[in-house]
Amino acid sequence: MTLRLCVFDAYGTLFDVNAAARIAAEDDPALAAVWPRLAEDWRRKQLEYSWLREIMGEYADFWQLTSDALDWALEAAGLSGPDLHPRLMRLYRELPAYPEVPAMLERLRDMGVGRVILSNGSPEMLTAAIVSAGIDRMLDATISVSDLRRYKPAAAVYSMIPERFGLDPAEVLFVSSNGWDAAGAARAGFRVAWVNRAGAPMERLPHRPHHQLADLTAIPDLL
């Protein structure tokens, strides 16, 4: 079946989630030695809170989860100060896209393939990131889980794509840097490309991606 739509996860897939801590550390000696750990803890707790709130049925939007995760990561790193948390959150709103993203999206556009984001992110934070990265005109739609008040990998989230676009899941290429997200999308019937930038092991989950890539450059070639 022909692939007609390319659906991207946002954070960690199109946008560099480590950039906020890395940029802040450039002129902050307290962050210089610890920012990699801070970034890792921040991202890990952000995801953990989304899974745990999904299990508990206690939804809060992704911006709140991002703030809560940063609080935890800062405390774990022994960092404090009235300006640090607000500054890191501001930087997170304007995360840069990975270098290959604009050219990859342009190739897809030239091929006539639809380009959509499906993200846990709240609409406001997604809009800010897309505009800041300069890719707002390269996308056809941005879909947030906020409409459902659910989080990936809930099956209802992935169902938003075929319901909205009237496509068979097999006509969709789903792209994510998260192994667990790739598994959830494969379970939903999508063709799936896992962007494994870190060279991580394959997740031990029932459903696996169809493709594994080091970055997004080759996505158009899969179509």
* pLDDT score, position 1: 72
d(CA 70, CA 185): 27
Is 35's pLDDT higher than 90?
yes
**Residue % of the chain over a pLDDT of 90:** 96
Residue-wise pLDDT for 74-121, tens only, equals 999 999 888 999 999 999 999 999 999 999 999 999 999 999 999 999
* pLDDT score, position 44: 98
Question: What confidence tier does 198 reach under pLDDT thresholds 50, 70, 90?
Answer: very high
Question: What confidence tier does 154 reach under pLDDT thresholds 50, 70, 90?
Answer: very high
DSSP letters spanning 151-193: -TT-HHHHHHHHHHH---GGGEEEEES-HHHHHHHHHTT-EEE
C-alpha distances in Å from residue 187, one per residue of 1, 157, 169, 178, 223: 17, 12, 10, 14, 20
Q: What's the whole-number mean pLDDT along residues 193-219?
A: 97
Residue-wise pLDDT for 123-149, tens only, equals 999 999 999 999 999 999 999 999 899
* pLDDT score, position 203: 97
Q: What positions carry a catalytic annotation?
A: 9
Is 21's pLDDT higher than 90?
yes
Question: What confidence tier does 23 reach under pLDDT thresholds 50, 70, 90?
Answer: very high
DSSP letters spanning 112-151: T-EEEEEESS-HHHHHHHHHHHT-GGG-SEEEEGGGTT--
Question: What confidence tier does 38 reach under pLDDT thresholds 50, 70, 90?
Answer: very high
C-alpha distances in Å from residue 26, one per residue of 15, 20, 31: 19, 10, 8
Question: What confidence tier does 48 reach under pLDDT thresholds 50, 70, 90?
Answer: very high
**Which pair of tokens denotes residue 215?**
């970055």
Both ends of the chain: CA-CA distance in Å? 11
d(CA 201, CA 145): 27
**Residue % of the chain over a pLDDT of 70:** 100
* pLDDT score, position 81: 85
Is 72's pLDDT higher than 80?
yes
